[in-house]
Structure 1
Amino acid sequence: MRVLHILNHTRRLNGHVHAAVDLACAQIKLGHQVYLASEGGDFDTLLKAKGIETLFIGHERKIPSLLRALSRLSSYIKKYDIDIVHAHMMTSAVIAFPVCKLRRVPLITTVHNEFEKSATLMGLGTRVIAVSDVVGASMRRRGVPQSKLKVVLNGTIGSSRSEGRSEEPKPLRSPSILFVGGLHPRKGLPDLFDAFETVHRSFPTAHLYIVGDGPFREEYKARAAALESASQITFVGSTRDPYPYMLGADIFVLPSHADPAPLVLSEAREAGCAVIGSSVDGIPQLLEDGEAGLLVPPRDPAALARMLGHLLEAPERIADWRQKSQFRIEHLTIERVARETLEVYYSAMPRGKAVPLAT
Structure 2
Amino acid sequence: MIIVHYLNHTLQANGHVAVAVDLACAQAALGHQVYLVSGRGDFDDVLVRNGVTKIDVPDARGLFPLRMLTMARSLLPVMRRIRPDIVNAHMVTAAIAARLVAWTSGYKLVTTVHNSFDRQAPLMRVGDRVIAVSKSVYDEMRGFGVAASKLRIVHNGTIGGARRPAVPVQRTTLSRPAIATVCGLHPRKGVDHLIDAFAIVHRQCPAAHLYIVGDGPFRTAYEQRAADSGAGASIHFTGHVGDPREVLAEVDIFALASLREPFGLVVSEAREMGCALVTTDVDGLPEAVGGADHGILVPPADPAAMAAALLSLINDPALLARYRAASSADTEGLTVAVMAKSTLDVYDEIIS
Corresponding position of 2:151: 149
Tell me whether 1:133 sits opposite 2:135 in the alignment: yes
8 Å CA contact 2:68–2:94 kept in 1: the answer is no
8 Å CA contact 1:210–1:235 kept in 2: the answer is yes
Corresponding position of 2:187: 185
- The root-mean-square deviation of aligned C-alpha atoms, in Å, is 1.4
8 Å CA contact 1:60–1:66 kept in 2: the answer is no
Comparing 317-326 with 122-131, greater Cα deviation is found at 317-326
Give the letter for the 1:26 counterpart: A
Q: Any stretches of 5+ residues in structure 1 without a counterpart? A: 352-359
Task: Tell me which of 55, 76, 79 is aligned to 1:77.
Answer: 79
Q: Distance in 2 between matches of 1:51 and 1:115?
A: 34
Corresponding position of 1:60: 61
Tell me whether 1:109 sits opposite 2:111 in the alignment: yes
Tell me whether 1:237 sits opposite 2:239 in the alignment: yes
8 Å CA contact 2:68–2:96 kept in 1: the answer is no
Task: Tell me which of 324, 330, 341 is aligned to 1:328.
Answer: 330
Q: Give 1:279 deviation, angstroms.
A: 0.4
Q: Give 1:147 deviation, angstroms.
A: 0.3
Give the match's secondary structure for 2:249: helix
Give the letter for the 2:156 counterpart: N
Q: Distance in 1 between matches of 2:82 and 2:326?
A: 46
Q: Distance in 2 between matches of 1:271 and 1:31?
A: 30
1:61 to 1:124, Cα distance in 2 relative to 1, 3 A: farther
Give the letter for the 2:241 counterpart: T
8 Å CA contact 2:281–2:299 kept in 1: the answer is yes
8 Å CA contact 1:168–1:247 kept in 2: the answer is no
Q: Distance in 2 between matches of 1:70 and 1:155?
A: 29
Give the match's secondary structure for 1:178: strand
Q: Give 1:291 deviation, angstroms.
A: 1.8
Aligned residues: 350
Task: Tell me which of 308, 311, 328 is aligned to 1:309.
Answer: 311
Task: Tell me which of 343, 346, 349 is aligned to 2:345.
Answer: 343
Q: Distance in 1 between matches of 2:174 and 2:187?
A: 26
Corresponding position of 1:2: 2
Corresponding position of 2:39: 39
Could you give the per-residue CA deviations for residues 190-224 of structure 1, whole angstroms, max 9, x where no partner exists? Answer: 11111111111111100111110000000000110
Q: Distance in 1 between matches of 2:197 and 2:12?
A: 30
Comparing 126-135 with 221-230, greater Cα deviation is found at 221-230
Corresponding position of 1:48: 48
8 Å CA contact 1:3–1:34 kept in 2: the answer is yes
Corresponding position of 1:275: 277
Q: Give 1:164 deviation, angstroms.
A: 6.5
8 Å CA contact 1:84–1:105 kept in 2: the answer is yes
8 Å CA contact 1:291–1:327 kept in 2: the answer is no
8 Å CA contact 1:198–1:305 kept in 2: the answer is yes
1:164 to 1:303, Cα distance in 2 relative to 1, 3 A: closer
1:253 to 1:210, Cα distance in 2 relative to 1, 3 A: same
Task: Tell me which of 280, 289, 292 is aligned to 2:291.
Answer: 289
Q: Give 1:148 deviation, angstroms.
A: 0.6
1:56 to 1:312, Cα distance in 2 relative to 1, 3 A: same
Corresponding position of 1:355: none
Give the letter for the 2:122 counterpart: T
Q: Give 1:61 deviation, angstroms.
A: 4.1
Q: Give 1:65 deviation, angstroms.
A: 6.2
Percentage of identical aligned residues: 46
Give the letter for the 1:55 counterpart: I
TM-score (norm 2): 0.96
8 Å CA contact 2:29–2:51 kept in 1: the answer is no
Could you give the per-residue CA deviations for residues 312-332 of structure 1, whole angstroms, max 9, x where no partner exists? Answer: 111221111110012211111
Task: Tell me which of 249, 257, 260 is aligned to 1:258.
Answer: 260
Q: Distance in 2 between matches of 1:296 and 1:68?
A: 44
Comparing 105-114 with 46-55, greater Cα deviation is found at 46-55
8 Å CA contact 1:192–1:301 kept in 2: the answer is yes
Q: Any stretches of 5+ residues in structure 2 without a counterpart? A: none
Corresponding position of 2:27: 27
1:79 to 1:319, Cα distance in 2 relative to 1, 3 A: same
Corresponding position of 1:357: none
Q: Give 1:165 deviation, angstroms.
A: 5.7
8 Å CA contact 1:156–1:266 kept in 2: the answer is yes
Q: Distance in 1 between matches of 2:88 and 2:122?
A: 16
Corresponding position of 1:299: 301
Q: Distance in 1 between matches of 2:68 and 2:326?
A: 48
Q: Distance in 2 between matches of 1:286 and 1:234?
A: 26
Q: Give 1:168 deviation, angstroms.
A: 3.6
Give the letter for the 1:108 counterpart: V
